[in-house]
Amino acid sequence: QVQLVESGGGLVQAGGSLRLSCAASRSIFQFNAVRWYRQAPGKQRVWVAIITRGGTTNYADSVKGRFTISADNTENTVYLQMNSLKPEDTAVYYCNLPGSSVGYWGQGTQVTVSS
């Protein structure tokens, strides 16, 4: 069992940057990977980025080259650095840890990118 809290969202202009945080209530080292997802208004939740315990990262094509996922095991926190933001990045962003069924999810943090 683990609780996740996303933070760092807000309103930014297109081309701007934002860093999201996902704070876990306990060590994330026990998990094989951490993923970021996002859900735009009226849309399905989609995968954005992943970081594995070994440090491997991968990204959805829509954010590749603009977003960077990282982890700080000391702080039990995973970050999503978002650069060159576009209006289509507007969504609620969630972090996820693998587990039974759908795993563990936070409540999300809203990111709004204005044109």
**Average pLDDT of the segment spanning 99-108:** 91
Cβ(10)–Cβ(111) under 8 Å? Answer: yes
List pLDDT tens digits, range 85-103.
999 999 999 999 998 888 9
pLDDT of residue 78: 96
Is 90 exceeded by the pLDDT of residue 81?
Answer: yes
- Amino acid at site 51: I
Using CA atoms, how far residue 53 sits from 8, 71, 79, in Å, is 23, 9, 14
DSSP-derived secondary structure letter, 102: T
List pLDDT tens digits, range 37-49.
999 999 999 999 9
Cβ(15)–Cβ(85) under 8 Å? Answer: yes
Cβ(2)–Cβ(97) under 8 Å? Answer: yes
Cβ(77)–Cβ(88) under 8 Å? Answer: no
List pLDDT tens digits, range 1-33.
899 999 999 999 999 999 999 999 988 888 999
